[in-house]
Structure 1
Amino acid sequence: MSRAEAKHSRSSSGRSGGSHRAALAQTVELAQAADRLGYTRFWVAEHHSTPGIASSSPEVLVAALAARTSRIRIGSGGVLLSHYSALKVAEQFRTLEALYPGRIDLGIGRAPGGMPRTAAALRDGRPDAPERFPEQLGELACFLTDTVPTGHRHEGISAVPLIDSAPQLWLLGSTDRSAQFAAGLGAAFAFAHFINGSGGESVVQSYKRSFRPSALGAVPEASAAVYVLCADTDEEAGRLAASADLQLLRQEKGEFGDVPSPAEAAAYPYGKWDGLRIAENRKRMIVGGPETVRNRLLAFSRQYGVGEVIVVTTAYEFGARLRSYELLAQAMRL
């Protein structure tokens, strides 16, 4: 039986009535707990002008988390490359790799990370930014591996600091497009099952078949990200997960906000359509007590053909998130 290595890839989420300052402090505490409990990696996302998420600058958070942990790999899940210079991103993560050798992951995403006006502000009005993503990605790979080709417009430019290792490059996505980018570059790939609960298995297999070895990686490396909430019992996990159910439902209605409490979720006036959407969204989740979660996670890893699973955990109370980490680590024998 394949063993799923539970990880964590989650932004600094705010709870209803909480503050972004508190959310960031709790992210540090969660990373330290993950380090202590035996998790493999801890990733933080990039979102902008989103009230419910405090993580807008993953490179800064990665530095803070790496400084406060000792073993676990720290990374971005992920940097939204189309907003930035490939050279600047390469230099930021080379600096992190120089400071914390062998512990830095550079995850790259294609999403805008916010509403259209926010994305436009980040790109400073450059309308061609999304279309340039494949070109930027190739430039980033060259800067990370010191392989800018002769005749390229960036020939002779190096990403400093000059070091003998590189952060591991991951492409993140919920469709086949990012998988093919990763395969063509020889980079690792993570499928976002917590965003798109259908078709991910075939996307991962396509990535593996199309993989081309490079200076970034000799063999394909894939993982899949799924929402997981583990509590002492199946019933308690279901009660706590109602917060995520309502948050996802509201997001589908264009209402973006903090994580609601289980009490608020229980009192919400759900309609027939709401119940159908919650049932559909639960296909992106693994919720239950330790034994239930262990069995479903192992089945999930076999289904995807991956040896690593990224755990995305949302709960109203910080204590419930921390407890989920602890129970999951015990259940998976980390």
Structure 2
Amino acid sequence: MSYKLSILDQSPIFPGTTASDALQQTVLLAQKAEEWGYTRFWVSEHHHAKQLAGSSPEVLISNLLAQTSKIQIGSGGVMLQHYSPYKVAENFHVLSSLAPGRVDLGVGKAPGGLPLSTKALQFGAINDGQDFSERLSFLKELIEDSVSDDHPLAGIQATPIPETKPEIFLLGASTNSARLAAELGISFVFAKFINSDERVLEEAANLYREGFPSGRLIIALAVVAAATQTEAEQLVGNRKIVKVHLESGRSVTVQSHEQAEVFGNQSGEAYEISEHEADIISGTPAYVNEIFTQLQQKYQVDEFILHTPIEQAVERFQSFQLLSPIYYTNKNVQPINS
């Protein structure tokens, strides 16, 4: 296997369960991911989402680091538009001091929620006028302890300074994100499960490789694996992704048509809603790994981060196990059944 595999978990709250149940499942999955040979385990940031418990990745990461011993733990990602880069740097420096060399700082541009939650996150905050690229650039300088002498905050440090700095990853689904990651010299994660347009992926991959040839290119995918092709396809079902297209030109991917209407109404803009087939790779481990190999060869991918969007808890765990490095190299490993 010429690529690494990792997991993105959104801490889904399945029907009949609680947020506490969901977070306990996240802890268990992180422990299993370590056992199964995955490279990293990331948790997401979603706000005011009744079906997802992962609203505070920094807090959850701290617990996951304590519950595991060697796997990389990180954010997929911190929604930087809401926060002070300085405070984000402090948070991740503390985490990196608690678990040296094991912390990833994934950063995203999306709001991570509906317009109302965005307003709530920014309520009372000082608008410093920085756009996302300025925030990310300043965050990188803080992490690297390299704030320039001509910066208005020259001399500032985000303490404590850990022995091993957290690695920064930019999460995105556009060519602009790829270009920014290359310009800053940081790892780039293309969210293919959000934007399945192969033309955009190809252009983003080329831009990133040309701008930062030694950088790490990662693709985040929606994947469901099962013992048979039929079983995997049945688990996926007729799943759709829903997009809200605002009059201002911005498009946002949400989980349902109902959520799309709420987002559009809260935005205060005219909007349109479109539904698309979900871009989910489904099949046997051999089939899925063949797709991975094709993508790796076409785009020189260093790593894949797997997201499994199904509501069957046992089957979800089985899917991650069936695709894991340890299962792939040792077919005598028995799939979990409970």
TM-score, normalised on structure 1? Answer: 0.85
Matches within 5 A, 1:160-199: 160-198=159-197, 199=200
SS where residue 105 of structure 1 aligns?
A: strand
Distance 2:176 2:240 in 1: 30
- 8 Å contact from structure 1 (residues 172, 189) kept in 2: yes
Match for residue 253 of structure 1 among 231, 252, 257: 257
Greater share of helix? 1
State the match for 1:309 in structure 2.
Answer: 304
Greater share of strand? 2
Distance 1:71 1:175 in 2: 32
State the match for 1:81 in structure 2.
Answer: 80
State the match for 2:291 in structure 1.
Answer: 296
- 8 Å contact from structure 1 (residues 223, 308) kept in 2: yes
State the match for 1:93 in structure 2.
Answer: 92
TM-superposed deviation, 1:294: 1.6
TM-superposed deviation, 1:277: 5.2
Using CA pairs under 8 Å that are at least 6 residues apart, name the structure with larger relative contact order, 1 or 2.
1
Distance 1:111 1:150 in 2: 31
Distance 1:292 1:129 in 2: 49
Distance 2:46 2:128 in 1: 17
Question: Do the aligned partners of residues 125 and 332 (structure 1) sit closer, same or farther apart at CA in structure 2, a change above 3 Å counting?
Answer: farther
- 8 Å contact from structure 2 (residues 100, 163) kept in 1: no
SS where residue 70 of structure 2 aligns?
A: coil
State the match for 1:206 in structure 2.
Answer: 207
State the match for 1:333 in structure 2.
Answer: 329
Distance 2:166 2:139 in 1: 12
TM-score, normalised on structure 2? Answer: 0.84
In percent, how many aligned pairs have the same letter? Answer: 38
Q: What amino acid sits opposite 2:83 in the alignment? A: Y
Bigger shift: residues 109-118 or 128-137: 128-137
State the number of aligned residues. Answer: 304
Distance 2:113 2:127 in 1: 17
Bigger shift: residues 132-141 or 169-178: 132-141
Distance 2:58 2:128 in 1: 20
- 8 Å contact from structure 1 (residues 170, 187) kept in 2: yes
Distance 2:7 2:216 in 1: 17
Structure 2 runs not aligned, ≥5 long: 244-253, 261-273, 331-338
- 8 Å contact from structure 2 (residues 242, 275) kept in 1: no
Distance 1:175 1:59 in 2: 25
Structure 1 runs not aligned, ≥5 long: 213-218, 257-275
TM-superposed deviation, 1:252: 4.8
- 8 Å contact from structure 2 (residues 46, 113) kept in 1: yes
- 8 Å contact from structure 1 (residues 237, 287) kept in 2: yes
Question: Do the aligned partners of residues 64 and 168 (structure 1) sit closer, same or farther apart at CA in structure 2, a change above 3 Å counting?
Answer: same
TM-superposed deviation, 1:248: 5.8
Distance 2:6 2:173 in 1: 18
Distance 1:195 1:237 in 2: 20
SS where residue 30 of structure 1 aligns?
A: helix
State the match for 2:270 in structure 1.
Answer: none
- 8 Å contact from structure 1 (residues 291, 331) kept in 2: no
- 8 Å contact from structure 1 (residues 11, 54) kept in 2: yes
Query: CA-to-partner distance for each residue in 1:270-323, whole Å, 9 max, x for gaps?
Result: xxxxxx956x32xx2210112211212211222332021111112212111111
SS where residue 54 of structure 1 aligns?
A: coil
SS where residue 258 of structure 2 aligns?
A: coil
Bigger shift: residues 41-50 or 120-129: 120-129
TM-superposed deviation, 1:17: 2.7
